[in-house]
Amino acid sequence: MSKNLNNYFLLSFSILPISILIGPSVSLINILLIDISFLIMIIYFKNYSFLKNNALKFFLIFYIYLIINSLISIDPTLGLFRNLGFLRIIIFFVAINYFFQDKIFLKKVLLVWLLIISVVILDVFFENYTGKNIFGFESKIYGRNVSFFKDEHIVGGYLYGFSFILLGYLFDNYKLNNKYLILFFSIAIFSAIFFTGERTNSIKAFIGFVIFFFIILNLTFKKKLISSIIGFIILISFIYSSDFLKYRYLDQIKAMYSGINGNIYFKIYNSGFEVFKNHPITGVGNKNYRVESCKNPDLGNNTYICTTHPHQIYVEFLSEHGVIGSFLLFYIFYKLIFSKIRTIYFTRNPINLGAMIYLILIFLPVLPSGAFFSDYSLTFFAINISILYATNSKLNLFLKRVDNKNVT
């Protein structure tokens, strides 16, 4: 590969976090440019070895199912274009496997990502202190942060999406030379996520950081447990140091869960289950929950709530994909992600571990979540699962195994 071509892809991958900050259209264009350029390159060099990989086969089954799901949905036009567009995720997955097998290329990209995310972290702290971000963007909700997202409260999820990969990168490159840098970054990014007031992302981040350090640190179980308890105490102290944080993380949660029947999220979950009960086999179709819940308010014993999605991944899958589709989707997720836990654990690769933790926490039950098939959520899913495979010699689509066996 020529130096110019390598630099082109290096730049394309490096600016990915910036493209997400600017907006979904820009990040979509960035990924499409990577995909198209990569396809042209692969065809030119005639490198098709990756086609034999079982992970790619499962992705293709995933893709075919989504198209079928669109055709049998309530409104086929609503989800068909989005489902057809899932092909970009598959090509992106292959492209990252190709380029990130080069450790120098990987380090350069992740270093740029670290710098970009560090700027966003500083911006969150700045907004938390002044009420506005460095460009003057201001949240309309007291105490919440928008940072560079102007009017959307998603910066916590943005930082969370990159947090474990970058933590793994720091451990992989600076563990022996600069432990304080790792500690400082860990505290900084978790605090930034926490200060945004995004409860679900904060809870997932806390669980993820505990799991990561439990596995990666060479300490006795007793020391790890004591460290976790100290961290939890510091977290509680943080909450009580701010009226907003206390209201957001204690008072509101207590109010929500003091009476489950009155909890808005449980009402939405119940609405999703009602949709599932009325369409149990194949569901209403991907991205069609809004059609069913908003168009037919009198169905489901008057328990439908008109929203874009059920705000919980399991309820989302059941209501939009039914028993058959949900079973297929979770089987694919098991083969792509959960069946790799043992491999990742014994490899002890920090970047692998970070990506795996993010992917597993997507499937936490009960906690509210964004729509899985939204462009925003899919982008972070694609980044993490791609890096999970790309940075592991036993999983990478292009690296030849010594035993010549294809990992499944």
Angle between helix axes 313-336 and 264-278 (nearest 10 degrees) is: 70
Spatial distance between the Cα atoms of 142 and 196, rounded to a whole number of angstroms: 11
CB-CB contact of 304 with 265 (8 Å): no
CB-CB contact of 283 with 79 (8 Å): no
Q: What range defines the domain where residue 42 resides?
A: 3-219+309-390
The single residue listed with the structure tokens 């120098």 is 104
Question: What tokens appear for 82 in the block?
Answer: 């989005």
Residue 275 lies in a domain: no
CA neighbours within 13 Å on the CB side: how many for 384?
A: 30
pLDDT at 339 over 90: yes
Query: pLDDT confidence of 403, banded at 50, 70, 90?
Result: very low
For 45-73, what is each residue's pLDDT tens digit?
888 888 889 999 999 999 999 999 989 89
Between CA 217 and CA 222, with CA 220 as vertex, the angle to 5 degrees is 115
pLDDT at 39 over 50: yes
Question: In 3D, which of 199, 220, 230 has the Cα closest to residue 370?
Answer: 199
Residue 148 lies in a domain: yes
Residue 65 lies in a domain: yes
pLDDT at 383 over 80: yes
Residue 13 lies in a domain: yes
Spatial distance between the Cα atoms of 153 and 63, rounded to a whole number of angstroms: 30
Number of domains in the chain: 1
pLDDT at 391: 94
Query: pLDDT confidence of 348, banded at 50, 70, 90?
Result: confident
For 246-267, what is each residue's pLDDT tens digit?
666 666 566 555 555 556 777 8
Residue 286 lies in a domain: no
Residue 267 lies in a domain: no
Residue 243 lies in a domain: no
Residue 383 lies in a domain: yes
Query: pLDDT confidence of 302, banded at 50, 70, 90?
Result: low
Of 32-46, 74-88, 195-209, give the lowest mean pLDDT range: 74-88
pLDDT at 306 over 90: no
CB-CB contact of 397 with 55 (8 Å): yes
Q: What is the pTM of this model?
A: 0.90
pLDDT at 405 over 50: no
pLDDT at 300: 46
Mean pLDDT of 109-114: 97
User: Alpha helix (H) ranges present in 72-154?
Assistant: 76-84, 87-99, 103-130
Compute the mean pLDDT over every residue in the chain, rounded to the nearest whole number: 86
